[in-house]
Amino acid sequence: MAGDKKISMAVIRRLPRYFRYLYDLIRLDIRRISSKELSERMDITASQIRQDLNCFGGFGQQGYGYNVQSLYDEIGRILGVERRFSCALFGAGNMGNALANYENFQNRGFDITVIFDSAADKVGTAIHGIPVLHVDGMESFLKSKHVDIAILTVPNRAMPDITARVVKAGVKGIWNFSPTDLKLGEGIVVENVHLSDSLMVLGYRLMEQLREDAARRK
Amino acid sequence: MAGDKKISMAVIRRLPRYFRYLYDLIRLDIRRISSKELSERMDITASQIRQDLNCFGGFGQQGYGYNVQSLYDEIGRILGVERRFSCALFGAGNMGNALANYENFQNRGFDITVIFDSAADKVGTAIHGIPVLHVDGMESFLKSKHVDIAILTVPNRAMPDITARVVKAGVKGIWNFSPTDLKLGEGIVVENVHLSDSLMVLGYRLMEQLREDAARRK
């Protein structure tokens, strides 16, 4: 079994995608799947799949393939989907609103229990049933409610103050939507989301595609 | 020079991040940087940086490091930031609102020129100055305005219809925010954004961190 064995971050970063595809297979009532079939669905090479999934146990059997449900359960266990994290969302703007309304996070074990903002017209309201409190009261809330994760969607200029206070209040996980990568030192886990990075990759691939199309028409 | 040489997708996916860090260096008036310094800032190994950046020309010089501005310009050129893409946003909900208000996309060469929705209270309004039109009129708009990219933030049930129509209208690039990976076959470029994947990786890393913290306290 895995659990004690260290899995590389490169593999970990691919696990949520396996998890999604396996979930879809379960819904389609597909009980087992070969690395080749999974490879075609996921656009990953079969050898990459075998290498990734061999990291945490021998679910693949020669001539049988993977047991979809076992593999799904095991990946879920590794990712800790049965554990619940308490999250505080900072910023009740457009991105904050979008995230507060995203039901999927809760299904994955992440509960947004509070939203902090400083705007008078937002404080005291609720978004998707989650109360919006004034950011001044964050310290006592974060400590007393044992918040695990801060989701940051505040303007850039507010970032230094908010991050310093969040970390001081004992929050260990940061999901950062600001344009600048956060690095907060030992013991604080940060995931930075950069939507423009994904868009720029799309732009690059699209240019390549248009170039190929043009070459073919010649 | 690059341009003709094929750069691997793994490297391409890292370029937007280099681009952001180099931009920050320029703002700090740092003119040159060694792979070692860049490595410390970016949390990538220096050898990975040298390997990545050697793919497209020899900007790094022994004992001098990289010329920040040249490297920034070259990466921007490869990513095509000087090119402009016309984008249509589908879905004027929370995520659509967040994306329409994101100024950064325009700075990167992506112009959202229209928003499509079907809700009576949204059609005819504007978000961040961008008109919201009824989705029924998409075909003529997409064709006449030569839209390059469709940004999809519509509910899952609307996805099959919308994607089929968008592709039929000649759009070649799709930026997909729906929970399911889109695969649209030859000639259509798709980038799927999965925010929950990033959150699940954060959850995994946080569990590891809390485990380490607990072990240290013993």
DSSP letters for A42-57? HTS-HHHHHHHHHTT-
User: Quick check: A181 and B209 CB within 8 A?
Assistant: no
Judging by DSSP bridges, how do beta strands A149-152 and A130-134 pair with one another?
unpaired
pLDDT tier, B58 (very low <50, low <70, confident <90, very high otherwise): low
Interface predicted TM-score of the whole assembly (ipTM), two decimals = 0.92
User: Quick check: A201 and B13 CB within 8 A?
Assistant: yes
Q: Which residues of A touch B175 (CB under 8 A)?
A: 198-199, 202
Nearest CA in chain A to B12: A201
Average pLDDT, chain B: 90
CATH architecture of B85-196: 3-Layer(aba) Sandwich (3.40)
What pLDDT was estimated at residue B65? 84
Q: CB-CB: which of A19, A193, A197 is closest to B16?
A: A197
The DSSP output letter for A136 is G
> Own/partner pairs for B39-48, CB < 8 Å, 24+ apart?
B42/B17, B42/B18, B43/A183, B44/B14
User: Quick check: B209 and A187 CB within 8 A?
Assistant: yes
Amino acid at B14: R
Which strand ranges, in their side-by-side order, compose the sheet holding A32-33? A32-33, A65-67, A60-61
Domain boundaries, chain B: 9-79, 85-196
Closest CA to A108 of B157, B212, B198: B198
The CATH code of the domain at B9-79 is: 1.10.10.10
Highest mean pLDDT among A103-107, B37-41, B170-174: B170-174
Instruction: Give the tokens for residue B158.
Output: 């609307």
What pLDDT was estimated at residue A58? 57
Q: What average pLDDT values come out for chain A (218 residues) when binned by 10 residues?
A: 65 93 94 91 90 72 82 91 95 94 88 97 96 97 96 93 96 93 88 94 94 89
Residue with tokens 């980038």: B191
* Structure confidence by residue, pLDDT tens digits, B124-159: 999 999 999 999 999 999 999 999 999 999 998 999
Q: Which residues of A touch B216 (CB under 8 A)?
A: none
Instruction: Give the tokens for residue B149.
Output: 């990219």
Answer yes or no: is pLDDT of B2 > 50: no
pLDDT tier, B57 (very low <50, low <70, confident <90, very high otherwise): low
* Structure confidence by residue, pLDDT tens digits, A176-207: 998 888 888 889 999 999 999 999 999 999 99
DSSP letters for B94-137? HHHHHHHT-HHHHHTTEEEEEEEE--TTTTT-EETTEEEEEGGG
Higher pLDDT, residue A58 or B122 = B122
Mean pLDDT for the stretch of residues B7-27: 92
User: Quick check: A198 and B191 CB within 8 A?
Assistant: yes
Q: Closest approach of chain B CAs to the CA of A95, in angstroms?
A: 5
pLDDT tier, B190 (very low <50, low <70, confident <90, very high otherwise): very high
User: Quick check: B79 and A209 CB within 8 A?
Assistant: no
Task: Give the integer Cα–Cα distance in Å for B157 and B169.
Answer: 20
Query: How far from chain centre, in Å, is Cα A94?
Result: 19
Q: Which residues of B touch A84 (CB under 8 A)?
A: none
Higher pLDDT, residue B189 or A53 = B189
Task: Give the integer Cα–Cα distance in Å for B148 and B87.
Answer: 6
What pLDDT was estimated at residue B158? 94
User: Quick check: B78 and A197 CB within 8 A?
Assistant: no
Most B CBs within 10 A among A17, A45, A202, A207, hence the mutation to make, goes to A202
Spatial contact of A136 and A109, defined as CB atoms under 8 Å apart: no
Amino acid at B192: N
Task: With both helix axes pointing from N to C terminus, report the angle between B195-217 and A68-79 in degrees, rounded to the nearest 10.
Answer: 60
Contacts of A185 (CB under 8 A, 6+ apart): none
How many other C-beta atoms are found inside a 10 Å radius of the C-beta of residue B185?
7
Contacts of B119 (CB under 8 A, 6+ apart): B92
Q: Do domains B9-79 and B85-196 have the same CATH topology?
A: no
Task: Give the integer Cα–Cα distance in Å for A39 and A41.
Answer: 6
H runs (alpha helix) in A28-152 = 35-42, 46-54, 68-79, 94-100, 103-107, 138-144
Q: Closest approach of chain A CAs to the CA of B99, in angstroms?
A: 8
What pLDDT was estimated at residue B1? 41
Highest mean pLDDT among A50-54, A127-131, B35-39, B98-102: A127-131
Give the side-chain half-sphere CA count within 13 A for A117.
Answer: 21
Q: Closest approach of chain B CAs to the CA of A43, in angstroms?
A: 9
